[in-house]
Amino acid sequence: MLIPRPPRPALRPFVTRLWAADERTGQAPVSSAQEHVLPTGAMHLVFRLSDQPLRLFDDAEDRHGRSMGRAVVGGARSNFYRRDISTPTCSVGAQLRPGAAELLFGATAYELSQRHTGLGDLWGRFANIAHEQLLEAGDPEQRLAILESLLASRLPVVRGLHPAVAHAIEKFDASASVDAVVRRSGYSHRHFIALFRRAVGLSPKLYCRVLRFQRALGRVALDRTASWAAIALEAGYSDQAHFHRDFVEFAGVTPTAYRRIAPASPSHVPLPGAGRLFS
């Protein structure tokens, strides 16, 4: 059961959406022990409220993995990561907007990018207090309300996202080129990249590559019979070979394997058998 919810108005400049999930009831048996979580270009905050902490694996040969704890910040990424899904979990979390990292965590999005960070390293003792409050909630709606209040309490009197970054994100969503946006910004290329990475966590070009990849995933979800050439063209790739290279880099599986697996959630790819993934 997944309950997504938009944040209340005061949080909307910083939070894209809130969600609560509980896989412990009404679930079919898990057919895979691991999955690839694909990059979205966004940062996430997650509290695990079940016994199983978030466990990540380096690769298919890693049998033990490493525990990341039960309160974790997932920075913006440009590559998939491999996580344990062998045990049903209960979680609550938030997808954050560019610019939220420094206000909520006291670290730039770039410092937190490409990795997971234990919330205790950022919030100290308050991370445990927050986790305990969420554990005491009786239902998903209460958990979402508590999470909203926790996030609001961490926000100081805030300044808005830098106008050049806000404008760039809007234009990149509309598939504008990085060079054109940088020219319009009035900043040097180096200064603009520094501003963007500080707020978003990824460089502008890497962020746009992830957006293009996500557009392709959305097209696959809409029409599972569409040709790969058509999907590549519509998503903005120069050719099918370019699309294939990006897909394998970001997803860890080929487009054909992805379609065969047919994940229920586009960015969460269960791994039925490592030996078949690249065929």
Residues 138 and 100 in one domain: yes
pTM of this prediction? Answer: 0.85
Residues 147 and 256 in one domain: no
pLDDT given at position 62: 85
Residues 20 and 130 in one domain: yes
DSSP string, the chain: -EEEEPPPGGGTTTEEEEEEEE-SSSPPPPS-SEEEEPP-S-EEEEEE-SSPPPEEESSTT-SS-EE--SEEEE---SS-EEEE-SS--EEEEEEEPTTHHHHHHSS-HHHHTTSEEETHHHHTHHHHHHHHHHHH-SSHHHHHHHHHHHHHHH--S--PPPHHHHHHHHHHHTT--HHHHHHHHTS-HHHHHHHHHHHHSS-HHHHHHHHHHHHHHHHHHH-TTS-HHHHHHHHT-SSHHHHHHHHHHHHSS-HHHHHHH--SBTTEEE-S-GGGTT-
Residue 32 sits in a domain whose CATH number is 2.60.120
Which range marks the domain in which residue 87 is found? 2-154
Residues 182 and 93 in one domain: no
Residues 12 and 125 in one domain: yes
Residues 19 and 150 in one domain: yes
pLDDT given at position 30: 54
Number of independent structural domains in the chain:
3
Residues 213 and 174 in one domain: no
Residues 22 and 93 in one domain: yes
pLDDT given at position 272: 72
Residue 220 sits in a domain whose CATH number is 1.10.10.60
Residues 108 and 227 in one domain: no
Residues 93 and 40 in one domain: yes
Residues 259 and 243 in one domain: yes
pLDDT given at position 158: 52
pLDDT given at position 39: 96
pLDDT given at position 159: 62
Residues 36 and 139 in one domain: yes
**pLDDT averaged over 10-residue windows placed end to end, the chain, 279 residues:** 88 93 68 87 96 89 89 96 92 95 94 97 95 93 94 76 90 91 91 95 96 94 89 92 95 93 91 51
